[in-house]
A and B are shown apart, each in its own frame.
Chain A
Amino acid sequence: MFSQKTLMIVGLIALVAISITVLSLPNGPTGSAPERGSGAMAVTGPFQRAVSATIRFGKGIWRHYFALVSASMENDRLMEALAREKEKNNRYREAVLANKRLRRLLAFKETLAHRVLAAEVIGKDPSPWFKTILIDKGSKDGVSNAMPVVVPEGIVGRVVDTAGHYAKVLLLVDQNSAVDALVQRTRARGIARGGLGGKCLFDYALRKDDIKVGDVVISSGLDRVFPKGLRIGKVAEIVKRNAGIFQDVIIAPFVDFEKLEEVFVILDPVHKPTKGGP
C-alpha cells in the first residue's frame, strides 16, 4: 500500500514532531520533571541494591584484606618488638637482682676478717641423696680442699675436691658434713652434722645444756676448718629422751641451699675470728 520510502519519511516527520513536542512541553508546577511512574525502579531496584551491595562487599573485603595484611604484619612487628623489650626488661630485672645480691655479698665480705674469693655456683649434685655444688673457682684460683664456703646467711659447706678452675663443695646438709659448733646464747657445744631432709643434727649436745628452740647455732672454730662465729642455723626441734647423756637437737640451717647462686670461699680460715663475731 505505502512504499518503504514513504513510511520512512512519515516516520521521520513523526519523530521530529514528537521531539519538538517533548522539547516544548513545560515543567510541572514545582519545576521538577513530570512523574513517570516507578515500575522499572521497583523491579530493578532490589537487583541494583544487591549488585551494589555485592560490589561494596567485594570492595570492602579487598580493602580490608589489604588492611588486615598490613595490620597483621604490623602486629608481627609489634609482637617482636614487645618480645625484645620483655627480654630486655627481664635482663634489667636480673641485673638489678644480681646487683642486690652482690651488694649484700660485698657488705658481708667487709665483715669478714679473712681473705675471701667470690665464686659462682655452676652446678648441683645430680643425685638427691648427696648434697654438693660445683663452683667456678678451683685450685688455679687458690682454692684448696677443706676451705670453708660461706654466704651472708651463714655456712654453705667446705671444699672437698678441686680441679683447675672448678671445685666441689660439700654442703652443710650432706650427711658427710660436720662442723664444730656452739649455741650462741649459752655456748653449749656440739657437732652440727648434715641430716636428711635439708636439716642438720646438733650431735653431742649434753642433756644438761640449756638449749631452746630458736637458739642460734654458730661455728666454734675448734675444728680449724670454719672460723669462729659463722652462723649455721637455729634450733628447730629438741628431743630429750629418758635415758642417755645427750639430747637430740635438730637445726634448721639459715642458708637456702636450693637458691645458692654466688658464694665466698674463705682462703685463710684458721685463727681469725669474724669482725662482728663473738
Chain B
Amino acid sequence: MTFLLNMIIGLALAVFQTALVPRVPVLRGCYDLILPFVIYQGIFRPFGQSVLLTCALGFMMGELSGATVGLYVITYLWVLIAVRWGVRFFHMGNYYLAPLLLVVAVLFENALFGLRVMLHSEAAFDADRLGRMLAGQVGWALISAPLCMMLLNALHHGWAAWISHLSAEKGNGVS
C-alpha cells in the first residue's frame, strides 16, 4: 500500500514538474523534484522497497525526458545508495542534513547529465548560463529541502494512520 502511495506521489511530482513548472516563470529554475523524494526514501524507507520505487521513478522520468534511457534510473539509484550509506555511517536520519543532501544530489545529477551531454555533443558549454542554472537549482534546494521532507513525512504518517484506521474498522466488522 505504501508503495502505491509512493508511486502516486512520484507521478504527481513528475506531472507537476513537466506540466506546471515550465508554465510558472519563477519555478523554471527549479531542480528535479524527484530528488528529495529519493532522498526521503533513502533516509526513512526500507531499502528494498526504495530501490524498486527509485527504478520505477527513474524509468518514468526517462520516458518523459529526452535523456538517454536509464540515465535517470542510474542517477536516482546512485543518490539512493549514497543517502543509505550516509544514514548508515553518519547516523543522519533526520531533517537537518536534508538541504545538504539535496544540494549534493542536485549537483551530482547535473554533473552526470552534463557529462552525458558533453560526451555526445561538440557544442561548447555556456559557463555563464550553466552557473546561473546551477545557482538557481541549489538555491531552490536549500530553501525547499526541509519543507519537502516534512511534507513527505506528513503524507506518509497520514497514510499510515488512515490504513491502520481502515484495518481496525475491517477487523471490527469481521469480528
Residues of A within 8 A of B (CB): 122-132, 134, 160-161, 168, 170-171, 174-176, 193-197, 201, 258
Contact (Cβ within 8 A) A176 B18: no
User: Which A residues touch B133, using CB under 8 A?
Assistant: 128
In chain B, positions 95-119 with a C-beta closer than 8 Å to chain A are 110, 113-114, 116-117
- Asked whether B121 lies within 8 Å of A125 as measured between CB atoms, the reply is no
Mark B29-57 against chain A: 1 for CB-CB distance below 8 A, else 0: 00010100000000000000000000000
Tell me the bound Cα distance from A174 to B120 in angstroms.
Answer: 11
Q: Which residues of B contact A175 (CB under 8 A)?
A: 117, 120-121, 123
Contact B64 A131 (CB under 8 A): no
Contact, CB under 8 Å: B65 / A130: yes
CB pair A129–B64 under 8 Å, yes or no, is no
Interface of B is mostly: helix
In contact, A201 and B120 (Cβ under 8 angstroms): no
Alpha-carbon gap, A168 to B133, bound state (A) = 24
| 4 A-B pairs closest in CB distance | A132-B66, A130-B66, A175-B121, A123-B18
Q: Is B129 an interface residue (CB 8 A)?
A: yes
Whole-angstrom CA separation of A123 from B113 in the bound complex: 20
Q: What 4 additional pairs, Cβ within 8 angstroms, besides A129-B117, A174-B66?
A: A127-B67, A127-B113, A171-B66, A175-B123
CB-defined A-B contacts under 8 Å, sample of 21: A123-B64, A124-B22, A125-B64, A125-B65, A126-B18, A128-B133, A129-B114, A129-B116, A129-B117, A130-B65, A130-B113, A132-B66, A168-B63, A168-B66, A170-B66, A174-B66, A175-B120, A195-B123, A196-B117, A197-B126, A197-B129
B17–chain A nearest beta-carbon distance, Å = 5
B14 within 8 Å of A by Cβ?
yes
A130: B residues at CB distance < 8 A: 65-67, 113, 117
In the complex the two chains form, what is the Cα distance from A134 to B14 in whole Å? Answer: 13
Instruction: Tell me, in angstroms, the Cα distance from A134 to B122 when the chains sit together.
Output: 26
CA distance A174 to B66 in the complex (A): 8
Q: For this complex, into which size category does the number of interface residues on chain B fall? A: 20 to 34
| B1 proximal to A (CB < 8 A) | no
* Cα-based distance from A129 to B75 in the complex (angstroms): 14
Is A124 a contact partner of B18 (Cβ separation < 8 A)?
yes
Closest Cβ of chain B to A149, distance in Å, is 13
Residue of B nearest to A127 (CB): B65
Among A124, A127, A160, A194, residue most surrounded by chain B Cβ atoms (within 10 Å): A127
Complex Cα–Cα for A201 and B117 (A): 15
In the complex formed, the residue of B with least CB distance to A170 is B66
* Complex contact A127–B32 (CB within 8 A): yes
Picked from B19, B122, B124, the residue with its CB within 8 Å of the CB of A123 is: B19
User: Which chain B positions have C-beta within 8 A of A123?
Assistant: 15, 18-19, 22, 64
Contact code string B55-73 (vs A, CB < 8 Å = 1, else 0): 0000001011111000000
Which residues of chain B come closer than 8 Å to A161, judged between CB atoms? 63
* Chain B hits for A131, CB < 8 A: 66
Of the candidates B17, B117, B125, which one forms a contact with A126 in the assembled complex, judged by CB atoms under 8 Å apart?
A: B17
Q: Is the CB of B19 within 8 A of A122?
A: yes
Chain A contacts of B121 at CB under 8 A? 175, 194-196
A132 in contact with B123 given A124-B18, A175-B117 (CB within 8 Å): no
B101 CB → nearest A CB, Å: 20
Q: What's the nearest-Cβ distance from chain A to residue B169, in Å?
A: 38
Q: Name which residue of chain B comes closest to A121, CB basis.
A: B22
Q: Report the separation of the CA atoms of residues A170 and B42 in the bound assembly, to the nearest whole angstrom.
A: 33
Name the distance in Å between A161's Cβ and chain B's nearest Cβ: 8
Residue ID in chain B nearest A201 by CB atoms: B123
Q: Is the CB of B66 within 8 A of A160?
A: yes
Interchain CB contact under 8 A, A125 and B123:
no
Q: Which residues of A contact B64 (CB under 8 A)?
A: 123, 125-126, 134, 168
A168 contacts across to B, CB distance below 8 A: 63-64, 66
